């Protein structure tokens, strides 16, 4: 039972890191697109005023920049950043709750642990986690997690779980 609870804890910690890493990357992509589009628009307007003989070229550049701005508003990055900004603190609270619960049962012998209580607690925690994902539309977004993000999150989660295991279990 302890292992089952610990595995659930590990899953939530890994999810936290996946969301944090992806949020950081989405933020970089969103800011980069915003800066590039602003520079292209500004440069296009300035260049158009300076080089009148290339007016058609600069008109095309400015038009393309405006179209790109419209398309950017439909890209998922800004929405995902917003969703994760609100989801991550709630997920961190969920992780703290499972850590606290694990501390209560960590010192018990396996045969002294009420298996139904642990199963019920895991079901409740999983429901909260799934509600978070649904509330913030994480499950409705096609999974953007690359294998690289997953591996990086797994490594960070292992470090945190091992650090906390030493603290919680001993």
Total domain count, the chain:
1
**Region 137-161: what's the mean pLDDT?**
77
Structural domain of residue 81, as residue ranges? 2-169
Answer yes or no: pTM beyond 0.85: no
- Stretch among 4-18, 59-73, 109-123, 152-166 having the lowest mean pLDDT: 59-73
Residue 113 confidence (pLDDT) above 90: no
Q: Which contacts qualify for 11-15: CB closer than 8 Å, 24 or more apart?
A: 12/91, 12/94, 12/95, 12/98, 12/125, 12/129, 13/95, 13/157, 13/160, 13/161, 14/153, 14/154, 14/156, 14/157, 15/91, 15/129, 15/153
145 pLDDT tier (thresholds 50, 70, 90)? low
Position 141 confidence tier, pLDDT thresholds 50, 70, 90: low
């Amino acid at each position: 039972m302890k292992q089952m609870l610990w595995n659930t804890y590990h899953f939530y910690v890994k999810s936290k890191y996946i969301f944090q890493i992806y949020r950081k990357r989405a933020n970089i992509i969103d800011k980069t697109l915003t800066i590039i589009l602003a520079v292209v628009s500004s440069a296009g307007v300035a260049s158009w005023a300076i080089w009148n003989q290339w007016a058609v070229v600069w008109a095309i550049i400015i038009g393309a920049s405006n179209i790109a701005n419209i398309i950017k508003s439909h890209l998922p990055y800004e929405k995902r950043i917003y969703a994760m900004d609100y989801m991550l603190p709630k997920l961190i609270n969920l992780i703290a709750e499972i850590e606290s619960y694990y501390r209560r049962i960590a010192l018990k012998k396996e045969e002294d642990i009420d298996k139904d209580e642990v199963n019920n607690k895991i079901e409740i925690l999983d429901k909260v986690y799934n509600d978070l994902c649904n509330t913030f539309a994480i499950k409705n977004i096609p999974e953007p997690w690359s294998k690289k993000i997953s591996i990086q999150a797994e490594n960070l989660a292992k470090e945190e779980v091992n650090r906390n295991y030493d603290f919680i279990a001993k």
